[in-house]
Amino acid sequence: MRDPTLTAALDALQAGSFSALVWDERLRVAGITDDALQILRLGTDELEPPLGRHMFSPEWVALMMSSQGGVTLDCQRAVFRHLAPAVVAAEPDAAALRDAIDPRLHDLLDGVEPAPLPPLWSTRLHVNFGDRTTPLDVLVVALRDAHGRAVGGATVSKPGLGGAALAMLATGDPKLFDRMLRLLEPARRPAAILFADLESSTPLGRRLSTHAYFALLRRLFWRADRSVVEAGGIVGNHVGDGVSAYFLAEDAGGESAAARACIASAAALREDAAIAAERSHLDTSQVVLRIGLHWCAGAYIGRLLTSARTEVTAMGDEVNEGARIEACATGGRTLASKALIERLEPLDAAELGLTHDEISYTALGDLPGAPEKARRDAPMLSVAELYAPAPTPA
């Protein structure tokens, strides 16, 4: 990309994390931003973006149709129909133009008179995403150099939502969204997992007004989610008054670091519960969490994306074992499996104030008050208590 105006445009769009293509005065694609590559899932040997080719060339049309986040042929035809006068103006040689663009668009050239590209033009498309289509807003911008000479343009896209709706969705933590982007395809991912649940929630919910109980959960979840993200984890789904989180080895930089982040997050959640209680004018002894921590070597972890929501979840026997550990952590305890604790390298263990030789383990089935499901599903799973419950006021 030699034109400095196009280079500056691509740099600005890249810096703003826009999903965009930049093209020259003959509508040849000169550059593509990283976010557009991610959406289209390009950049691999199999799906390399054909830079230098006409934006309506057979290569680009086929690539858009086949890639995730790509545009259907019908939508590409609709865009081409609007831009056809500018396409013809950019290449007056009719034979050369037909050689450059996809044959499935040739019929849309019939009778078209050349005209310059409009300064701004927008439309809404429907693009492929997973096993469904989703709306996408596209803005086409004409680019001119410092002397007013037309040098090309840019195609900028965003989700097909209004600005207010996008602002609402963007209130989450960008670090979490970046981690979730890598999990579209479920796969076996070594990870530490955390399950936490509000103990004695039923009597607490009955004693408080519905509004007060909802406010308590909102305060608790807001802080808990923040603690998970700041520790490098991914927030799972909230079921009732529970919290789940995943700390992937690939994100943390290794298994020991993932285990350390998970344990540190559990300690932070205990503080979060105490703060939520105080903000709700409750005694901290009334808002305690059962917390279970486990290591998953073979669980499938990935993102569930539907028309109503997106979330990360994990599946596998180790995930079920983690839930059983949490159910046994009565009295506000934090129980961690031997498999998790022994992932810690000495330095990471020392940072947490743990010494491997001083930790004593108990089989899950031998814990007093262990639920029937724990005795049935994971009776021999070794666990240790990491943090003693806060003392109950006299």
- At 24-78, the pLDDT tens digits run 999 999 999 988 887 777 655 556 788 999 999 999 998 888 776 567 888 889 8
Q: 394 falls in which pLDDT band (50, 70, 90)?
A: very low
Tens digits of residue pLDDT in 165-202: 776 666 666 667 677 767 767 788 999 999 999 988 88
Residues ≥6 apart with Cβ < 8 Å to 178: none
Query: CATH topology of 4-165 equal to that of 172-387?
Result: no
* Confidence at residue 42, expressed as pLDDT on a 0 to 100 scale: 61
AA identity, residue 363: A
User: What are the counts of helices (DSSP H) followed by strands (DSSP E) for the chain?
Assistant: 15, 15
At 193-244, the pLDDT tens digits run 999 999 888 888 888 999 999 999 999 998 998 999 899 998 887 777 888 8
Which amino acid type is present at position 173?
D
Angstrom distance (rounded) from CA 176 to CA 189: 17
Q: What is the DSSP letter of 112?
A: P
pLDDT, tens only, 324-383: 999 998 888 999 999 999 999 999 999 999 998 889 999 988 888 888 888 888 889 999
Reduced to 3 states (helix: H, G, I; strand: E, B; else coil), residue 357 is helix
The answer to whether 234 and 228 have CB atoms below 8 angstroms apart is: yes
Topology classification of domain 172-387: Alpha-Beta Plaits (3.30.70)
Alpha-carbon distance 248 to 259, whole Å? 9
When mean pLDDT is compared across 45-49, 120-124, 316-320, the lowest value belongs to 45-49
Cβ proximity of 22 and 10 under 8 Å: yes
The pLDDT-based confidence of 131 (bands split at 50, 70, 90) is low
* Domain ranges across the chain: 4-165, 172-387
Q: Are 329 and 253 in contact (CB under 8 A)?
A: no
CA angle centred on 246, ends 240 and 251, rounded to 5°: 150
The rounded distance, in Å, linking the Cα atoms of 341 and 337 is: 6
Nearest to 230 by CA among 179, 292, 167: 179
Looking at residue 81, its amino acid is: R
Q: Lowest mean pLDDT of 192-206, 237-251, 279-293, 294-308, name the range.
A: 294-308
User: Percent of the chain, pLDDT > 90?
Assistant: 48
pLDDT score of 393: 43
Q: Which fold is adopted by the domain 4-165?
A: Beta-Lactamase (3.30.450)
